[in-house]
Structure 1
């Protein structure tokens, strides 16, 4: 059964009704300098909840924003998206407010739910018309700001490009036994979706063979790279991480498959401004900043804007039609019964995720 068909037939439909769907919300026309003035006049503060599993993952964005807008006090907190959304929901329950101005998270289903609950501000930042409809809300309640791609990664000190695996079945070869490090799929939904796709393509037998490869499971999607880079560690390959395409100078290299994309996932991280935002002008400034052409280029990889070319050496995302499908992850995330059932199947096989939060593990 095709993946999309399976998700559709298992989907329990929930109708989210909001009486506040706007009409005629236009795309932002103010330049950044004017938005900056508005944010200063508002008070100059900004609270952002950003999904991630390492405290420094947004440092480059924070630095670039602060250099460009030094009078804005940006308070950006990185935590697992599934924890950020819990804190935000609890804050709504306790105070009626989100406790943040803007959220930028992996939990795509939350934005659909928050939209239906009337908790998001309809806003279309500059460049909104250059972002595909399948990674944004067409009324402006949320928008994709950057693509994450989990693909094949290998440690360049331990393997050559020719030796590294590219297809999922490569990881099942005897030479990779004891060499694989993977994020716990029952601890991260993006990794879970990768294994879900593998089952749909290759069956559970392939999963059992994979687990027999003496795989080291870790918490967090940045942790596999850190483990691979340890010189005293035999682990050298992973596909549950998305550090981006490099020239190998960082000690690792990311590459796409030749044919089999069953173990690869790509999605656009969503961002939205809450209706209860105490600093809406600063939130608008931040969202516009994220979608500038300059910041999109700085992100590397594929841009969410169709007028910004991908990183040098990469084909356009459109060239991977049928292989890289960003909306597929959203469909999976919206289907919570399937997500939770599949998560428990993996928990039964490999146990609960072990270890402290990846933000605190010093890896």
Structure 2
């Protein structure tokens, strides 16, 4: 019999929901089936992104019988989707079992038949607005776009997108990657568009953002190099955009060498939700489901919070008094997030199409 399992609240039984993987009647059965598979293949999980290094170690410590095979930690959301497509008939180590992608990539992958449904035990605590009702994809964490600033090189940190157009930031500003393949970069362009006109949305916001970045490139303020912790520390990209949790973790890791300031732009606060999903062709479907159960458990959610990510069960866990006070004290003040805009799924889908259609032509890149 084939099922998709969901642990019932307060019970160990898993509900039969009609998926394509092997049966598991209890959590213990799921654990046994996953251990028999002996491997989990993940992709695009840098250890310094959202504390994934510690999260992976936590899973390995809990299930030492399962080898975690890590593919291309620096891949973008588009790369993850392509990895599923390229390995449909491959049961070897190059076929990802699970993906962690930007919100707009979840529905698109479902529509292409690339995902299989699964609902975790804590399903009811995931907001309906960020999950597929059938369980093909669901939100895992979110953050807001921010600027990381090397204070050794940039003495006066910018506070907004508008500030970045000043000539004093020549050859200083970067994005983490190509917006056609990376969700954080695409949403950076989107945020720039909103900074020019807060009433814009979808493709209009994205296209306005492309125009803004083209002007930044023409003024020589935009650096044609991907922003990273190494490039920021070396001064190649002394200002670069990324999710707040990545930049805060980078700040801590650099530990003052150089000093880094993390700034949430005052004129455009864009929140981004990432989602988890299981490949329809996962070679290790039970290990994939067990990984999901771990990520959405209290332990997994607090693991993400330790990396400055807001876990998707944040509100439910806060109401239940499950969030450690010491972790909460390390996050930016709540008022920094008060103007956050969460682009809808339709708006992100339209932005994704506009990026594919217009970025290369406007920016003069391949």
Q: State if a TM-score over 0.5 links the two structures.
A: yes
**In structure 2, what is the Cα distance between the partners aligned to 1:184 and 1:103?**
19
Superposition map of 1:204-215 within 5 A: 206-207=212-213, 209-211=215-217, 212-215=219-222
1:120·1:141 contact (CA, 8 Å) conserved in 2? yes
**In structure 2, what is the Cα distance between the partners aligned to 1:184 and 1:329?**
22
The 1:137–1:238 alpha-carbon spacing in structure 2 relative to 1, beyond 3 Å, is: same
Which residue among 226, 231, 242 is the counterpart of 1:227?
231
The 1:119–1:159 alpha-carbon spacing in structure 2 relative to 1, beyond 3 Å, is: closer
The 1:156–1:295 alpha-carbon spacing in structure 2 relative to 1, beyond 3 Å, is: farther
Q: Which residue of 2 aligns with 1:44?
A: 38
The 1:234–1:340 alpha-carbon spacing in structure 2 relative to 1, beyond 3 Å, is: closer
The 1:120–1:166 alpha-carbon spacing in structure 2 relative to 1, beyond 3 Å, is: same
CA shift for structure 1 position 323? 2.3
Which residue among 78, 82, 102 is the counterpart of 1:82?
78
CA shift for structure 1 position 50? 3.2
* Alignment of 1:344 onto 2:339: no
Q: Which moved more, 1:70-79 or 1:194-203?
A: 194-203
1:27·1:124 contact (CA, 8 Å) conserved in 2? no
Which residue among 149, 164, 168 is the counterpart of 1:154?
149
1:262-303 per-position Cα deviation (integer Å, ceiling 9, x unaligned): xx5432221112344332221111111112223322323222
* Alignment of 1:181 onto 2:177: no
1:236-268 per-position Cα deviation (integer Å, ceiling 9, x unaligned): 2222455142567264332323x311xx54322
Q: Which residue of 1 aligns with 2:273?
A: 268
CA shift for structure 1 position 154? 1.0
Q: Which residue of 2 aligns with 1:172?
A: 165
Which residue among 243, 249, 252 is the counterpart of 2:255?
249
1:80-129 per-position Cα deviation (integer Å, ceiling 9, x unaligned): 3322211311333x5699933222223x4442133234443322112222
* Alignment of 1:66 onto 2:60: yes
1:266·1:329 contact (CA, 8 Å) conserved in 2? no
Unmatched tracts of structure 2, length 5 or more: 13-25, 197-207
**In structure 2, what is the Cα distance between the partners aligned to 1:118 and 1:82?**
15
Q: Which residue of 2 aligns with 1:102?
A: 98
Q: Which residue of 1 aligns with 2:200?
A: none
- Partner-residue secondary structure (3-state), 1:196: helix
CA shift for structure 1 position 318? 9.9
CA shift for structure 1 position 72? 0.8
Q: Given the two structures, how large is their TM-score scaled by the length of structure 2?
A: 0.71
Q: Which residue of 2 aligns with 1:356?
A: none
* Alignment of 1:324 onto 2:341: yes
The 1:228–1:49 alpha-carbon spacing in structure 2 relative to 1, beyond 3 Å, is: closer
**In structure 1, what is the Cα distance between the partners aligned to 2:312 and 2:361?**
34
The 1:135–1:167 alpha-carbon spacing in structure 2 relative to 1, beyond 3 Å, is: same
Which residue among 185, 191, 194 is the counterpart of 2:188?
194
CA RMSD of aligned residues (A): 3.8
**In structure 2, what is the Cα distance between the partners aligned to 1:121 and 1:113?**
13
- Partner-residue secondary structure (3-state), 1:229: helix
Superposition map of 1:269-288 within 5 A: 269-288=274-293
Q: Which residue of 2 aligns with 1:3?
A: none
Unmatched tracts of structure 1, length 5 or more: 1-21, 353-363
- Partner-residue secondary structure (3-state), 2:65: coil
2:126·2:312 contact (CA, 8 Å) conserved in 1? yes
- Partner-residue secondary structure (3-state), 1:152: strand
- Partner-residue secondary structure (3-state), 1:147: strand
The 1:234–1:140 alpha-carbon spacing in structure 2 relative to 1, beyond 3 Å, is: closer
**In structure 1, what is the Cα distance between the partners aligned to 2:247 and 2:213?**
26
